[in-house]
């Protein structure tokens, strides 16, 4: 189990409550933002004090309650929203990009994210998020009525304009200097295809949704013939393991130590998942066949339909990797 930077922060999260803002190290604050209407309860954005003004990592939902909570928390830690100089987004999911435009309007901050997760680029290369979900559900081999119901659920919860414009779409490893603070942007696909982690050279890595303190990583949606997000994730975890970072700052749960050990443990977990799929699969097996036989937190029939959708799409990604590596 990961070692929390703050036992109080971890205990509050485990009690299914939203933690209060907390200092991770000098000049870096974890700011939990309650997520209106989400089972996730909150996202943690991070504020980094620099000589050029604060830098923000991630932004919660574009909802008035998220924006109000964020503004109050920034003031509580002695910083100003209108002084933020850059918004570094780890990926393009709605709970991460939501109020980035509001910050830019308030402060003139540059908005930065991996180029493959830029919405205009994603639409050209992969289509919209919902279209990707529909393609993936069709690929799982689930019965048509199941696909239709799961897709309808996704439509109901995935209302997002996907219109955010980036000031800096990243195309590879990039270094930024903000006054006396150096941050490196590293491509880290696996959860999405343009996911990025940001490394503070003082020993922190902001991991987005790639590497939580506890639990697995949700693999990206498989919608193209060459997609293999499990392979992407294994490469990403190896890269994070070798950074030498002392503290990981994920977008959910809580900041923690033992970064390399956590990367190794998560790699082992997902490799075991791949081996389980490989052992269960036979010629013609579909993700629908396998997901119902996999081990989840609850028995398959006890999972909510939304959770089953995540599990089914995750299984499709595992099956894609198991099949690809078997061919090799």
pLDDT tens track, the chain, 328 positions? 689 999 999 999 999 999 999 999 999 999 999 987 677 789 999 999 999 999 999 999 998 999 999 999 999 999 999 999 999 999 999 999 999 999 999 999 999 999 999 999 999 999 999 999 999 999 999 999 999 999 999 998 877 889 999 999 999 999 999 999 999 999 999 999 999 999 999 999 999 999 999 999 999 999 999 999 999 999 999 999 999 999 999 999 999 999 999 999 999 999 999 999 999 998 889 999 999 999 999 999 999 999 999 999 999 999 999 998 865 4
- Scanning the structure block, which residue is given the tokens 């020993």? 203
Rg, the chain, Cα only: 19
Task: Look at residue 289 and tell me if it is in a domain.
Answer: no
- What domain count does the chain have? 1
pLDDT at 156: 85
Q: What domain range is 93 assigned to?
A: 7-128+163-271
Distances in Å between the alpha carbon of 170 and those of 128, 166, 226?
A: 20, 9, 22
* DSSP string over 144-204: HHHHHHHHHHHHHH------PPPSEEE-S-EEEEETTEEEEEEE--SSSTT-EEEEETTTE
Show the CA angle centred on residue 324, arms to residues 280 and 318, nearest 5°: 50
In a domain? residue 247: yes
**Structure tokens of 245?**
């970072």
User: Would 317 be classed as within a structural domain?
Assistant: no
Place of tokens 């493959």: 116
pLDDT at 46: 98
For 16-38, letters b (16+ CB in 10 Å) and e give eeebebbebbebbbbbbbbbeeb
Backbone angles phi, psi at 320, to 5 degrees: -60, -45
Phi/psi-derived region of residue 284, left when phi > 0, alpha when psi is between -120 and 50, beta in every other case: left
DSSP 127-153: --HHHHHHHHHHHTT--HHHHHHHHHH
Terminal C-alpha separation, the chain: 34
Q: Give the pLDDT confidence score for residue 283 in this predicted structure.
A: 83
CATH number at residue 25: 3.60.15.10
> Is residue 250 assigned to a domain?
yes
HSE toward the beta carbon, residue 16, CA cutoff 13 A: 2
Q: What are phi and psi of 308, to 5 degrees?
A: -65, -35
The span from the CA of 328 to the CA of 324, in Å, is 7
Closest alpha carbon to 162 in 192, 118, 197? 118
Any domain includes 148: no
Distance of CA 57 to the CA centre of its chain: 12
Residue 138 covered by a domain: no
Structural domain includes residue 37: yes
- Asked if residue 178 lies in contact with residue 222, where contact means CB atoms within 8 angstroms, the answer is no
Any domain includes 267? yes
The CA-atom distances, in angstroms, between 118 and each of 61, 63, 112, 129, 196 are: 17, 21, 9, 12, 12
Q: How many Cβ atoms from other residues are within 10 Å of residue 303's Cβ?
A: 17
Q: Which residues contact 237 (CB under 8 A, 6 or more apart)?
A: 190, 210, 211, 263, 264, 266, 267
Residue 173: both structure tokens together: 């490893």
Q: Are 274 and 321 in contact, with CB atoms under 8 Å apart?
A: yes
pTM of the shown model: 0.96
pLDDT of residue 90: 98
Q: Which two tokens mark 228?
A: 């293999």
């Amino acid at each position: 189990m990961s070692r929390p930077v703050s036992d109080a922060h971890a205990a509050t999260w485990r009690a299914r409550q939203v933690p209060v803002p907390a200092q991770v190290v000098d000049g870096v604050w974890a700011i939990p933002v309650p997520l209106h209407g989400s089972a996730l309860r909150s996202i943690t954005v991070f504020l980094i004090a620099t000589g050029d003004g604060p830098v923000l990592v991630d932004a919660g939902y574009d909802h008035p309650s998220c924006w109000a909570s964020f503004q109050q928390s920034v003031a509580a830690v002695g910083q100003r929203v209108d002084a933020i100089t850059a918004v570094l987004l780890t990926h393009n999911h709605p709970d991460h990009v939501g109020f980035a435009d509001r910050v830019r309007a308030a402060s003139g901050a540059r908005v930065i994210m991996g180029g493959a997760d830029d919405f205009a680029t994603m639409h050209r290369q992969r289509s919209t998020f919902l279209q990707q979900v529909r393609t993936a559900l069709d690929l799982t081999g689930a019965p048509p009525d199941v696909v239709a119901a799961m897709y309808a659920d996704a439509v109901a919860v995935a209302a997002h304009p996907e219109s955010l414009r980036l000031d800096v779409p990243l195309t590879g490893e990039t270094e930024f200097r903000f006054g006396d603070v150096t941050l490196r942007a590293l491509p880290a696909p696996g959860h999405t295809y343009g996911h990025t982690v940001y490394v503070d050279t003082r020993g922190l890595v902001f991991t987005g949704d790639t590497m939580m303190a506890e639990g697995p990583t949700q693999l990206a949606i498989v919608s193209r013939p060459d997609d293999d997000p499990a392979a992407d994730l294994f490469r990403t975890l190896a890269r994070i393991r070798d950074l030498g970072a002392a503290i990981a700052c994920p977008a959910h749960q809580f900041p923690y130590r033992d970064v390399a050990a956590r990367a190794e443990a998560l790699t082992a977990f997902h490799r075991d998942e791949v081996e389980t799929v490989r052992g269960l699969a036979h010629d013609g097996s579909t993700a629908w066949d396998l997901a119902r036989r996999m081990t989840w937190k609850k028995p398959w029939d006890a999972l909510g339909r939304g959770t089953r959708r995540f599990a089914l799409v995750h299984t499709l990604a595992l099956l894609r990797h198991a099949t690809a590596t078997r061919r090799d």
